[in-house]
């Protein structure tokens, strides 16, 4: 499987070459439903004003300032609830598919993606993700597979699939070393043989001075934003990607995913989710600044789906307490690991208080301690449930929902992204721009 036909994409064109933006920055908050934006607004307000937050006017966040509409996310079946693979396929190709599909249709036929089209048009491409770079969302922009679970095969395709003799992505930044350096194949060696610069640590990012370039900074995904000592993870990688892609004579397409918003939602971990939203917001600020300096650029931001069915307010109370969340300094997974590692129940309770500042009742203490020494998942679920209880955060599921997701746009032609759109309509509009950009 080599080059795809993009004739159907060119037929879509109704935008003149002069009107099309030269560069496209496409940012996807995985799992980022509308309640996440609202929660982040109040979370930031609490962060800025502390215990006096309720007495202050609530300021907009960057999400609020760029919000232009909403998007539907349903897949090509009767479930109405998409997974990340089908959602990303729609966002990358303009075609809906089945859950688990990586840019193939229901007949398992590959669908051309906007990055493949951009490569054929002579543009540069980049992907940035806080997950492994061959995870569902980035994978749908550069590869094809009937199952998102075939992570090694997807990683192989990043190198093997060629357009004009070159891999589709010129810049690849995120996690995923385990899939690119394996016993059966060392893809990094092969990328280097193609002239790619390579970095495997944050300290080495500065050695990436030109495209093509790849940086894999962790074995799988990057550390959770709430746990890491590396500040501004996604913003730093976005800055590096824009630096490497610019200038591009015919422009570029960059996809940036805030991957772990979704992972926090699956865990029903509100503190984790707000930290990932902040990490994503900082990356958006970087992209917005780039558009301000390069007005021939379009920034589009959306989500592939909503995760967790988050609600602000729970247990019949007209109350949500973001200050409780502000005091939590570790994800539920890390809290569980720390409590299990404690030398005694007393030490575990002391560590809980250090990490959350939440004073538990005797019954809640016993509930927490009863999970020590069991599966990490069991202890984590109790920990995040207690944080949700004290903050009055509600969750309806550990999976995805069919809720519409936010749509944001900024820069050249941003007015074309407003009101209600289907996820495929977002992609089709971007495909029009890419197919009609000056050559």
Give the pLDDT score at 436: 86
CA distances from 419 to 71, 177, 279, 281 (A): 8, 40, 26, 22
Confidence (pLDDT) at 14: 45
- Dihedrals phi, psi of 175, to nearest 5 degrees: -110, 180
Backbone angles phi and psi of 171, in degrees to 5: -135, 130
pLDDT at 50: 73
Would you say 271 and 331 are in contact if contact means Cβ atoms under 8 Å apart?
A: yes
- Residue 4, pLDDT score: 55
Residue 192 β-bridge partners: none
Condensed to tens digits (0 to 9), the pLDDT of residues 156-171 reads 999 999 999 999 999 9
Give the model's pLDDT for residue 438: 57
What the chain holds in terms of domains, given with CATH numbers, is 7-310+397-436 (3.40.720.10), 312-394 (1.10.60.40)
Q: What is the pLDDT of residue 158?
A: 98
pLDDT tens-place string over residues 255-290? 999 999 999 999 999 999 999 999 999 999 999 999
pTM over 0.85: yes
CB 267 within 8 A of CB 336: no
Peptide bond into 425 cis (omega under 30): no
Residues lower than pLDDT 70 in the chain? 1-18, 51-55, 437-439
List the one residue out of 170, 163, 218 whose CA is nearest residue 191. 170
Contact (CB, 8 A) for 82 and 97? no
Position 59 scores a pLDDT of 93
CA–CA dist 216, 211 (Å, integer)? 15
Q: pLDDT (tens digit, 9 = 90+) per residue, 174-190?
A: 999 999 999 999 999 99
169 CA to centre of own chain? 17
Q: What is the pLDDT of residue 18?
A: 54
**Residue of 84, 103, 391, 437 marked active site:** 84
Q: Is 84 a catalytic residue?
A: yes
At 299, give phi and psi (nearest 5°).
Answer: -110, 125
Rounded to the nearest 10°, the torsion over CA 38, 44, 48, 51 is 60
């Amino acid at each position: 499987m080599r080059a795809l036909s993009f004739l159907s994409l060119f037929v879509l064109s109704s935008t003149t070459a002069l009107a099309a933006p030269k560069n496209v920055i496409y940012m996807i908050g995985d799992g980022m439903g509308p309640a996440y934006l609202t929660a982040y607004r109040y979370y930031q307000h609490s962060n800025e004003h502390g215990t006096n937050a309720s007495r202050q006017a609530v300021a907009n966040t960057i999400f609020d300032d760029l919000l232009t509409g909403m998007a539907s996310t349903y897949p090509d079946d009767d479930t109405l609830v998409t997974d990340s693979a089908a959602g990303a396929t729609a966002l990358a190709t303009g075609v809906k598919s089945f859950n688990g599909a990586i840019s193939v249709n229901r007949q398992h036929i590959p669908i051309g993606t906007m990055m493949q089209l951009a490569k054929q048009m002579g543009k540069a491409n980049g992907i940035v993700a806080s997950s492994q770079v061959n995870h569902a969302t980035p994978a749908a922009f550069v590869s094809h597979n009937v199952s998102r679970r075939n992570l090694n095969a997807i990683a192989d395709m990043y190198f093997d699939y060629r357009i004009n003799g070159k891999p589709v992505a010129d810049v690849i930044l995120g996690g995923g070393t385990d899939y690119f350096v394996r016993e059966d194949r060392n893809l990094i060696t092969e990328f280097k043989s193609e002239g790619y610069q390579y970095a495997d640590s944050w300290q080495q990012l500065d050695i990436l001075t030109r495209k093509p370039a790849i940086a894999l900074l962790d074995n799988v995904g990057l550390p959770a934003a709430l746990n890491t000592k590396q500040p501004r993870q996604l913003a730093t990688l976005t800055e590096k990607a824009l630096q490497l892609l610019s200038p591009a004579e015919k422009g570029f397409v960059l996809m940036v995913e805030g991957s772990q918003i979704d992972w926090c939602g699956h865990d029903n971990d509100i503190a984790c989710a707000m930290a990932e939203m902040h990490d994503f917001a900082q990356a958006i600020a970087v992209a917005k600044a780039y558009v301000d300096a390069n007005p021939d650029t379009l920034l589009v931001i959306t989500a592939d789906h909503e995760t967790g069915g988050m609600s602000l307010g729970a247990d019949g109370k007209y109350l949500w307490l973001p200050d409780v969340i502000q005091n939590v300094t570790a994800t539920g997974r890390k809290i569980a690991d720390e409590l299990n590692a404690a030398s005694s129940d007393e030490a575990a309770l002391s560590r809980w208080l250090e990490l959350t500042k939440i004073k538990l009742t005797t019954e809640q203490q016993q509930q927490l301690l009863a999970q020590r020494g069991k599966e990490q998942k069991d202890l984590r679920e109790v920990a995040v449930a207690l944080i949700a209880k004290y903050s009055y955060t509600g969750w309806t599921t550990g999976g995805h929902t069919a809720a519409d997701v936010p749509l944001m746009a900024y820069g050249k032609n941003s007015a074309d992204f407003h009101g209600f759109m289907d996820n495929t309509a977002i992609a089709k509009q971007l495909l029009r721009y890419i197919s009609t950009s000056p050559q």
